[in-house]
Amino acid sequence: MPFADGGRLRVPRPDELIAAPPGTIPTVLPRRTPLLVGGHAARNRVALGALLPAGYTRLLLPAYRRQSDAPALPLFGYTFACVVADELHVAAMRTDASDDWTPRTFAPSELESYVASRRARDPSNAVLAQLAVCATTYGCFTAQNVFLERGEAALPVSPRCNARCIGCISEQDADAGFPSPQARVRDEADVDALARIALAHLERVPDGIVSFGQGCEGEPLLRVTTIARAIERIRAQTPAGTINLNTNGSLPKSLAVLIDAGLDAVRISLNSFRTDVYATYYRPLGYGLADVFESVRHAVDCGLRVSLNLLTHPGVTDDAREVAACDDFLSAVRVAMVQTRTLNIDPQRYFAAVGRPSQPPLGMREALRRIGAAGVRLGNFTHAH
């Protein structure tokens, strides 16, 4: 049995392993050898991992020894995987379900025809042009939803960001050694283009959601005036659906402007409730975790539907110090939901940055149980209700 990495090397417990769900992608970790019980590396083998489909939370990481000439690993959510009774198993648990996030397959040119017919209704819309790339090239579900007219639709708005996350999926330093999975949007979307897409979606999709702040962009709060005017224009024409913002929560005053403009819901991302671990990963420019917490508190006080987008990583999220900090925050600030998001990064690169736990971690199952015990809904997706 190979070792797993949970911040400390150990054998997975039976309750941490499930048969690999549909949509799981097995992956090898090049020039890395698996660590076996007993601690030795199996020289003639290559380490195995898996990438989970949406709706599952990773519980353990692959344990491996990196060879000196090993290439940097691209930004994926590497999960411990092994074969049990001739069947692939992964260390994961189901944490949410939604038809909208079930793995999708399209007949040849089916998606392209949805894109073409939607764009024909608004041919000069530059944001639709960007979303067409996101939908067809990156396979982004919320971009596809704009063309499929269902669920949560993407409204990317900001090329700039006031953070430099080590695992940013839209922009990486040239010397990072691995590319960002998506190219950061270059243009600043305008109010009219954003409002036209949002109105078409909210007026045609029951329980529709439109979300500013997507994987292909920077920080939307840096475009507060544009978003506020777009929200006002949308709400002047329809009360339907939900206007949501996905953000790093860095600018509480700007968030307050959007709340006054009519924002309904907000999802604020963080990798940790500890100031030092947060700063090490986000590398924030001109703000800190205290500002993020102030944004959460203000949105809760204003009655918004507030979710935290917790970037989870075994060995960090379930570190006893992290769980205690999470407990303290959730018992003081009543958010509606914690969405767990598997952090996409080379585990050894992340541990090198934020450190491994000084004590054996509590285990991801326990860390997630504690969130539920705080009376907070646990999941992975932004739901209409």
Instruction: Tell me the two tokens of residue 169.
Output: 């999926």
What is the size of the binding site for ligand SF4 (CB under 6 A)? 10
User: Is 287 in contact with 265 (CB distance < 8 Å)?
Assistant: no
Q: Which is nearer to ligand SF4, 9 or 169 (CB)?
A: 169
Backbone φ/ψ region at 181: left (φ over 0), alpha (ψ -120 to 50), beta: alpha
User: Which residue in 33, 142, 170, 348 binds ligand SF4 (CB under 6 A)?
Assistant: 170
Cα distance between residue 130 and residue 47, in whole Å: 37
Helix (H) or strand (E) segment spanning residue 195: helix 191-204
- Smallest distance from ligand SF4 to CB 192, Å: 24
* Residue 137 CB neighbour total at 10 angstroms: 11
- Smallest distance from ligand SF4 to CB 313, Å: 14
Residue 163 sits in the site that holds ligand SF4 (CB under 6 A): yes
Q: Which is nearer to ligand SF4, 57 or 170 (CB)?
A: 170
User: Which residue in 54, 143, 157, 165 binds ligand SF4 (CB under 6 A)?
Assistant: 165
To the nearest 10°, report the CA torsion of 299, 225, 198, 335.
-10
Residue 168 sits in the site that holds ligand SF4 (CB under 6 A): yes
Cα distance between residue 312 and residue 277, in whole Å: 12
Q: What is the 8-class DSSP label of residue 380? A: S
Q: Which is nearer to ligand SF4, 161 or 338 (CB)?
A: 161
For residue 142, the SS3 value is helix
Q: Which is nearer to ligand SF4, 103 or 288 (CB)?
A: 288
Residue 223 makes CB contacts below 8 A (sequence gap 6+) with 157, 158, 188, 189
Q: Which is nearer to ligand SF4, 157 or 330 (CB)?
A: 157
Residue 119 sits in the site that holds ligand SF4 (CB under 6 A): no
User: Is 381 in contact with 194 (CB distance < 8 Å)?
Assistant: no
- Smallest distance from ligand SF4 to CB 317, Å: 17
Q: Which is nearer to ligand SF4, 148 or 245 (CB)?
A: 245
Q: What is the 8-class DSSP label of residue 119? A: H
- Smallest distance from ligand SF4 to CB 283, Å: 8
User: Which residue in 161, 200, 258, 296 binds ligand SF4 (CB under 6 A)?
Assistant: 161
The span from the first CA to the last CA of the chain, in angstroms, equals 43
Cα distance between residue 34 and residue 45, in whole Å: 7
- Smallest distance from ligand SF4 to CB 216, Å: 9
Q: Which is nearer to ligand SF4, 95 or 344 (CB)?
A: 344
Q: Which is nearer to ligand SF4, 107 or 174 (CB)?
A: 174
- Smallest distance from ligand SF4 to CB 245, Å: 13
Among the listed ranges 30-38, 164-172, 252-260, 307-315, the one in contact with ligand SF4 (CB under 6 A) is 164-172
Determine the length of the chain: 385
Quick note: the x/- pattern for ligand SF4 over 193-222, rule CB under 6 A, is -------------------------xx---
Residue 164 sits in the site that holds ligand SF4 (CB under 6 A): yes
User: Is 169 in contact with 97 (CB distance < 8 Å)?
Assistant: no
User: Is 250 in contact with 220 (CB distance < 8 Å)?
Assistant: no
Binding positions for ligand SF4, rule: CB under 6 A: 161, 163-165, 168, 170-171, 218-219, 248
